[in-house]
């Protein structure tokens, strides 16, 4: 199974911030990317607040909260965020054109071993994977908002996603404190039966 040490999250909206928070709490070096500096500032402040509340409620110790916060980094370009990542989780609006553009770029700039995941709610992961040369290393990771409170994580297996990629995604989800359920990409169920 691929060893995941660094996770990049593309998009610092509400879901992206939540995913980055869960990643840092799971022990991963986490790089959150957004082209808007204001989104990154909002993300940093919100995550600091979540960690302070978690420490206040006794969910984590104050030193654990500080260590989790220290695992968070911020980037203003996809290239900057994803170059060293072992897993990249895309969390941008539900527009196939945007997702295809991002995955095409990620396929070029990431290490050949990097796993790419989409947080899509309704689009075909198989279609997204088809624009890359690493279809076996692409899956869906469907987080639910608010990520820090919701326990379920759906991993969507695309047509060519291999077992190693699913195993790595399952381990990441487990370390994030999620109950992982593996489902087939909705548009491929007939072909996978």
For position 44, which CATH number holds?
3.40.50.720
Evaluate whether residue 63 is within a structural domain.
Answer: yes
Q: Is 28 exposed, middle or buried (0-12, 13-18, 19+ CB in 10 A)?
A: buried
pLDDT tier, 190 (very low <50, low <70, confident <90, very high otherwise):
very low
Q: Per-residue pLDDT for 161 more than 80?
A: yes
Evaluate whether residue 79 is within a structural domain.
Answer: yes
Evaluate whether residue 1 is within a structural domain.
Answer: no
**What is the pLDDT at residue 1?**
66
Evaluate whether residue 35 is within a structural domain.
Answer: yes
Evaluate whether residue 91 is within a structural domain.
Answer: yes
40-54 pLDDT, tens digit per residue, is 999 999 989 988 888
**What is the pLDDT at residue 11?**
96
**What is the pLDDT at residue 91?**
96
pLDDT tier, 89 (very low <50, low <70, confident <90, very high otherwise):
very high
**What is the pLDDT at residue 192?**
37
Evaluate whether residue 142 is within a structural domain.
Answer: yes
pLDDT tier, 58 (very low <50, low <70, confident <90, very high otherwise):
confident
Q: Per-residue pLDDT for 188 more than 80?
A: no
Structural domain that includes position 183: 6-192
pLDDT tier, 145 (very low <50, low <70, confident <90, very high otherwise):
confident
18-28 pLDDT, tens digit per residue, is 999 999 999 99
Evaluate whether residue 54 is within a structural domain.
Answer: yes
**What is the pLDDT at residue 187?**
54
The average pLDDT across 100-106 equals 97
**What is the pLDDT at residue 83?**
96
Number of domains composing the chain: 1
Q: Per-residue pLDDT for 186 more than 90?
A: no
């Amino acid at each position: 199974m691929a060893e995941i040490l660094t996770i990049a999250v593309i998009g610092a909206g509400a879901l992206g911030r939540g995913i980055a928070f869960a990643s840092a709490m799971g022990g991963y070096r986490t790089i959150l990317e957004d082209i808007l500096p204001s989104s990154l500032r909002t993300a940093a402040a919100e995550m600091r607040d979540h960690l302070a509340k978690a420490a206040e409620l006794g969910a984590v110790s104050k030193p654990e909260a500080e260590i989790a916060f220290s695992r968070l980094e911020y980037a203003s370009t996809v290239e900057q965020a994803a170059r060293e990542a072992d897993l990249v989780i895309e969390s941008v609006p539900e527009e196939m054109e945007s997702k295809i553009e991002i995955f095409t770029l990620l396929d070029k700039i990431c290490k050949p071993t990097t796993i790419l995941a989409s947080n899509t709610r309704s689009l075909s992961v198989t279609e997204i994977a088809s624009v890359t040369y690493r279809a076996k290393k692409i899956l869906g990771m469907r987080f639910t908002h608010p990520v820090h409170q919701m326990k379920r994580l759906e991993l969507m297996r695309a047509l060519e996603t291999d077992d190693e990629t699913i195993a790595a995604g399952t381990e990441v989800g487990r370390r994030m404190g999620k109950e992982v359920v593996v489902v087939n990409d909705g548009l491929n169920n007939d072909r996978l039966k």
